[in-house]
Chains A and B, each alone.
Chain A
Amino acid sequence: MKEPLFGPFREQGNGKHTLGPMQHIDVPMRRFREDEPVDYLIVGVGSAGGVLVQRLARAGFKVVGLEAGPFWDTERDWVSDEAGSHKLYWEDARITGGSDPLALGANNSGKGVGGGSVHWAAFTPRLHPSDFEVYTRDGVGADWPISYDELLPYYEQLEIEMPVAGPAYFPWGRPHGYAYGPHPMGGVGNALIRGCSKLGIPVCIGGPVAILSGSHGDRPHCIYRGFCIQGCKVGAKASTLITHVPDAIKSGAEIRELSMASRIEMGKDGRAAGIHYFDGEGRPHFQKAKAVIVAGYAIESPRLLLNSSCAGHENGLANSSDTVGRYLMAQAGNVVLGRFDELVRMYKAPPAHALSEEFYETDPKRGFARGFAIQTVAPLPIAFAKQMVAAKKAWGWGLRRELMDYNHWATFGVLGEILPWPENRVTLADEKDQFGIPVAHVSFNLHENDKRLIKFGKEKTFEVMYAAGATEVVQEARYAHLVGACRMGADPGTSVVDKFCRTHDVSNLFVCDGSVMPTQGSANPGLTIQALAARTADYLISQGDAIFTSNRRDMTPPRLRRGLAPPHTWGKGVPRLT
């Protein structure tokens, strides 16, 4: 066995809170008193919450982020290991059902500062302009209360803040280019290029992913170790934990870890007064606030609103429209696995590194509305073994045999748009969690359009895999990326929040995370979620103290405040084409 070039690794051991090998938090964190109202109390410091906390603190507000999970020290807490990374996921009790039950847990949501951005694969495509007007164009789903052009400045802004690596020219949706150069290909990406090229399907390589292809500030570039979904110890993959939270703390925000919000308290004036939560030892607390933002993910956000029912809000807070929990969406995420005679070794390189959006838009000839993307995925051995159980019914010696061939397989993921349906929803179960809080019941059912889309997307991806040279192609059916369940809209009778993420019913209560999305397109949602959070923050900042003192709803769009980005956002990367 040969040794690596520079010999064994020795830790720096600087005794500080580390975020990657280079970055650490070296300022003391501010602490707020519970009995004095803070300006903004945010539930969940995940993809959206991390951006909100940073922006609002930098603008000078008193901000506390309540986070149910831990505040990670990445050198101490994270490992390059599948079975050792369960703590990154939301694994508290939830119940799943309906005709097409969704796998939750590791397949969906995160817990701990950074939330889902800690374990995402970091694909960061934008939505297409058509996604904002699905109902107008296709007569299905819903329209957004904002257009692509309203979100565009925030897409561009967040692509630089993360930053995103990708090609200089991305041809789908509204064509654009990326801040950082694309990544080199791994074996799976090469298979996708071969398959697509043979069939004449355009393919985009090396991004868009929120993974550094060159070092940036105190974050090193990617080392192609393939453990993105287990958290990037390298700090190359963006998470709000390393991109936004350090600046939030420097700007005076408090992140209160191991704090599980159980109920939003309403004051006599009809405004939210604060939040009841449990600390790490299970002790109850109450934090007063002038305004509350719920950013707990598409399951936990509606759960908290439903658990906050009270006089005047008997069906749950902000639920006069009976929409809280409804129109929950997941994307079709069928994994197509191809076996190649030659070795692939798909554990190298980030799972996310190439994609095609050629089938994204509605094509009436296909017999269903909307479309899908094809992306690289790359399961590590445990995930791959479970896929072999599903796809080939393997067990016993058959399972051992398939796994001995692990290095011969490459995998593509279908990412298909499933439409929002009212009966796909989060409700409360009778069962309670470790704090005594009723848990979420998730019900999910596919409809005819969804099934046709999945079948077509799966079959097209089979074609690509065969064209790439696979001698055997199989498939595991699954879903990815939950969004919706507190959707935004102009009509208070059919939506939960307005276009600035303010609930229609309570003027100092906001929901801002993936749950506000009315439709989801075939793009991974993380970039859109962070862009929406930055836009919401700009709106709140533009309103100043009015949010705390008045019930007036000013619908004037905010201007983009680039100056509130974390420091060193500018002057990095290659020039963009827009």
Chain B
Amino acid sequence: MKSGSIHAGASLRPRDPVTGEALPERAQPGYYPGFSIMSQKAYWDRATREVVEARLKPASPLRFFSDDEAKLWTAVFDHILPQTDRIPERRIPLIPALDERLQENRTVGYRFEDMPHDRDVYKTIGIQAINAEARALYRRDFLGLAFVEQEGVLRAIHDGDARAGEALWKQMSIHRFWQLLTGDAIEAYYAHPWAWDEIGFGGPAYPRAYMRLERGEPEPWEAEERRYAWEGPVASLSDETNDASHHHTEAEQHGHRPGKRQP
């Protein structure tokens, strides 16, 4: 049941909704089997090709995070964008891009006034917050918890449901904290060509162009959709969504406290 294990145990893998059996790991999850963005790289301009190819190279050693910090954030990001449906060689590294951003002190170009600097969040305050929530809920630090307990901690933060004392969350908005973490996980995962294969995104098309614009049809080199049914792993709490569309303004939407959860 440990999140760090290379081959995910059955309870951590998505299931067949009919039989309840864990689905096998795939080289390429998603509904576009056979679609390969990288098979098209010869048709892209050189600058784009170099940027995308670099994401497939082995990551350079981490510079910003210590080993312990990296271990914690790897575990957290494994929940925010879990990949146990992928064979280990086809999992997308999420922490190296974040490490590079923080090392180079790059930001999204603004900081909410109720947030510390990104570097302080990832180096200290965020780690303290996650461990404090873990202790408040389950009396142990985050890395010492079972997978499903870790899910519980992160879901509480996702819900804006802080337990660990006001002093901590006074330094940092719980909602903007969650937005920061999900944003960084997304920036790494959905920048990767394997993720594009998974979701059927046609990717770079200069100078070749797209031609079938209107009816959702694939280009000759794209793939047709072939869906399969799946549901989240037994040990996961994240395979559900909660419509926040009734909020009209950005502030309300991100400070949102969900009421009842939908199944």
A214 proximal to B (CB < 8 A): no
Asked, given contacts A396-B239, A403-B199, whether A349 binds B112 with beta carbons under 8 Å apart, the answer is no
Asked, given contacts A106-B109, A406-B199, whether A80 binds B232 with beta carbons under 8 Å apart, the answer is no
A372-427 contacts to B (CB < 8 Å): 380-382, 385-386, 388-404, 406-407
B232-258 contacts to A (CB < 8 Å): 232-233, 236-245, 247-254, 256, 258
A496 proximal to B (CB < 8 A): no
Chain A residue at smallest Cβ distance from B250: A477
Contact B247 A93, beta carbon cutoff 8 Å: no
B207-223 contacts to A (CB < 8 Å): 207-218, 220-221
Contact B238 A396, beta carbon cutoff 8 Å: yes
State in angstroms the CA–CA spacing of A192 and B93 once bound together: 38
B108 proximal to A (CB < 8 A): yes
State in angstroms the CA–CA spacing of A8 and B42 once bound together: 5
Among A86, A395, A442, point to the contact of B80 (Cβ < 8 A): A395
Contact B258 A225, beta carbon cutoff 8 Å: no
A309 proximal to B (CB < 8 A): no
Contact A81 B238, beta carbon cutoff 8 Å: no
B90 proximal to A (CB < 8 A): no
**What B residues does A386 contact at CB under 8 A?**
182-183, 186
B194 proximal to A (CB < 8 A): no
Contact A399 B109, beta carbon cutoff 8 Å: no
Contact A391 B238, beta carbon cutoff 8 Å: no
State in angstroms the CA–CA spacing of A396 and B106 once bound together: 25
**What A residues does B256 contact at CB under 8 A?**
393
**What A residues does B242 contact at CB under 8 A?**
392-393
Chain B residue at smallest Cβ distance from A6: B208
**What A residues does B238 contact at CB under 8 A?**
395-399
Asked, given contacts A75-B45, A101-B113, whether A81 binds B51 with beta carbons under 8 Å apart, the answer is yes
State in angstroms the CA–CA spacing of A219 and B256 once bound together: 47
Segment with Cβ contacts to B, from A338-346, A362-370, A515-523, A566-574: A338-346
**What B residues does A454 contact at CB under 8 A?**
248-249
B103 proximal to A (CB < 8 A): no
When each residue 342-358 of chain A gets 1 if its CB lies under 8 Å from chain B and 0 otherwise, what string results?
A: 11110111000000000
Chain A residue at smallest Cβ distance from B236: A397
Contact B233 A397, beta carbon cutoff 8 Å: yes
**What B residues does A201 contact at CB under 8 A?**
none
Among A97, A342, A390, point to the contact of B216 (Cβ < 8 A): A342
Asked, given contacts A224-B213, A407-B199, whether A394 binds B241 with beta carbons under 8 Å apart, the answer is yes
State in angstroms the CA–CA spacing of A81 and B46 once bound together: 12
Asked, given contacts A1-B36, A476-B253, whether A396 binds B212 with beta carbons under 8 Å apart, the answer is no
**What A residues does B97 contact at CB under 8 A?**
83
A82 proximal to B (CB < 8 A): yes
Expressed in whole angstroms, the minimum distance between the Cβ of B23 and any Cβ of chain A is: 12
**What A residues does B81 contact at CB under 8 A?**
396, 399-400
Chain B residue at smallest Cβ distance from A396: B238
Contact B248 A75, beta carbon cutoff 8 Å: no
Expressed in whole angstroms, the minimum distance between the Cβ of A291 and any Cβ of chain B is: 31
Contact B42 A187, beta carbon cutoff 8 Å: no
State in angstroms the CA–CA spacing of A214 and B31 once bound together: 36
Contact B80 A396, beta carbon cutoff 8 Å: yes
Contact A348 B212, beta carbon cutoff 8 Å: yes
Segment with Cβ contacts to B, from A226-234, A483-491, A525-533, A542-550: A226-234
**What B residues does A334 contact at CB under 8 A?**
248
State in angstroms the CA–CA spacing of A158 and B43 once bound together: 35
Among B30, B45, B151, point to the contact of A404 (Cβ < 8 A): B30
How many of chain B's residues touch chain A, expressed as a range? 35 or more
When each residue 207-250 of chain A gets 1 if its CB lies under 8 Å from chain B and 0 otherwise, what string results?
A: 00000000000000001111100000110000000000000000
Contact B47 A75, beta carbon cutoff 8 Å: yes
State in angstroms the CA–CA spacing of A386 and B189 once bound together: 12
Contact B47 A78, beta carbon cutoff 8 Å: yes
B225 proximal to A (CB < 8 A): yes
**What A residues does B216 contact at CB under 8 A?**
187, 342-345, 407
Chain B residue at smallest Cβ distance from A4: B208
Chain A residue at smallest Cβ distance from B183: A386
When each residue 36-77 of chain B gets 1 if its CB lies under 8 Å from chain A and 0 otherwise, what string results?
A: 100110111111100110000000000000000000000000
Contact B209 A406, beta carbon cutoff 8 Å: no
Among A83, A390, A395, point to the contact of B253 (Cβ < 8 A): A390
Among A77, A185, A477, point to the contact of B248 (Cβ < 8 A): A477
Expressed in whole angstroms, the minimum distance between the Cβ of A562 and any Cβ of chain B is: 34
Contact A381 B201, beta carbon cutoff 8 Å: yes
State in angstroms the CA–CA spacing of A407 and B225 once bound together: 9
**What B residues does A82 contact at CB under 8 A?**
190-191
Contact A406 B244, beta carbon cutoff 8 Å: no
Contact A224 B51, beta carbon cutoff 8 Å: no
State in angstroms the CA–CA spacing of A349 and B250 once bound together: 28
Contact B249 A446, beta carbon cutoff 8 Å: yes
The winner among B114, B187, B248 for most chain A CB atoms within 10 A is B248
**What A residues does B210 contact at CB under 8 A?**
223-226, 348-349
Asked, given contacts A75-B47, A81-B52, whether A93 binds B107 with beta carbons under 8 Å apart, the answer is yes
Contact A406 B201, beta carbon cutoff 8 Å: yes
A68-89 contacts to B (CB < 8 Å): 75-84, 86, 89
Contact B213 A401, beta carbon cutoff 8 Å: no
Asked, given contacts A184-B213, A187-B216, A402-B241, whether A397 binds B82 with beta carbons under 8 Å apart, the answer is yes
State in angstroms the CA–CA spacing of A95 and B109 once bound together: 9
Contact B254 A91, beta carbon cutoff 8 Å: no
**What A residues does B182 contact at CB under 8 A?**
386, 389, 395, 399
Contact A227 B187, beta carbon cutoff 8 Å: no
A105 proximal to B (CB < 8 A): yes
Chain A residue at smallest Cβ distance from B97: A83
When each residue 1-44 of chain A gets 1 if its CB lies under 8 Å from chain B and 0 otherwise, what string results?
A: 11110001101000000000100000000000000000000000
State in angstroms the CA–CA spacing of A283 and B207 once bound together: 39
Asked, given contacts A81-B51, A82-B191, A395-B158, whether A347 binds B204 with beta carbons under 8 Å apart, the answer is no
**What A residues does B111 contact at CB under 8 A?**
93-96
**What A residues does B215 contact at CB under 8 A?**
187, 342-343
A475 proximal to B (CB < 8 A): yes
Asked, given contacts A4-B43, A396-B82, A479-B250, whether A96 binds B110 with beta carbons under 8 Å apart, the answer is yes
B162 proximal to A (CB < 8 A): no
**What A residues does B221 contact at CB under 8 A?**
1-4
Contact B206 A101, beta carbon cutoff 8 Å: no
Expressed in whole angstroms, the minimum distance between the Cβ of B159 and any Cβ of chain A is: 8
Expressed in whole angstroms, the minimum distance between the Cβ of A235 and any Cβ of chain B is: 10
State in angstroms the CA–CA spacing of A226 and B112 once bound together: 30
State in angstroms the CA–CA spacing of A11 and B190 once bound together: 28
Among A92, A392, A406, A479, point to the contact of B241 (Cβ < 8 A): A392
The winner among B189, B206, B250, B258 for most chain A CB atoms within 10 A is B250
B14 proximal to A (CB < 8 A): yes
State in angstroms the CA–CA spacing of A75 and B45 once bound together: 8
Contact B44 A80, beta carbon cutoff 8 Å: yes
A91-B106, A404-B29, A406-B199 given; 19 more Cβ-contact pairs under 8 Å? A4-B208, A8-B43, A11-B46, A78-B47, A79-B45, A80-B48, A81-B204, A82-B190, A83-B191, A97-B113, A100-B251, A104-B110, A380-B201, A389-B179, A389-B182, A395-B158, A397-B236, A398-B240, A399-B182
10 pairs, A vs B, C-beta closer than 8 Å: A83-B191, A84-B51, A93-B107, A97-B112, A186-B213, A224-B209, A345-B202, A381-B195, A407-B200, A477-B253
- Chain A residues with a Cβ under 8 A of chain B: 1-4, 8-9, 11, 21, 75-84, 86, 89-97, 99-101, 103-106, 184-187, 190, 223-227, 233-234, 334, 342-345, 347-349, 380-382, 385-386, 388-404, 406-407, 441-442, 446, 451, 454-455, 458, 473-479
